[in-house]
Amino acid sequence: MAVVVVTLRIMPVSVDINLDTIEEQANALIRDFGGEPGKKVINPIAFGLNALDIYFTMPEEKGSTDALEIKVREVEGVQSAEVTDVRRTMG
């Protein structure tokens, strides 16, 4: 089976939330899920609010990321978490 690259977008509840703390916790959850975190991107949304995009790889046979998204939403300071992109890797 192939490896997929997944983009997970995490929205904090407010501009006062430390995205580094959320990133650390989300990366631990991604590893527990069987993925390998890669790069992160901070995307400005509006009025000082930023979204955290974490890119990670995981085996395609793992299937749905629904369980991971639910766990990330339970992290303190997270308003929402959703997978915005999934792509197969080449090679």
Residue 55 has a pLDDT of 98
Mean pLDDT of 27-33: 98
Mean pLDDT of 19-44: 97
- Identify which of 72, 64, 61 has the alpha carbon closest to the alpha carbon of residue 31: 72
In the block, tokens 């990670």 appear at 56
Tokens of 2: 């192939």
Give the number of domains in the chain. 1
Residues of the domain holding 41: 3-88
Residue 88 near residue 27 (C-beta atoms within 8 A): no
Residue 91 has a pLDDT of 60
Residue 32 has a pLDDT of 97
- Please report, for the domain that includes residue 83, its CATH number: 3.30.70.60
Instruction: Write down the pTM of the prediction.
Output: 0.94
- pLDDT tens string 53-65: 999 999 999 989 9
Tokens of 25: 């916790």
Mean pLDDT of 36-54: 97
- Identify which of 21, 37, 29 has the alpha carbon closest to the alpha carbon of residue 76: 21
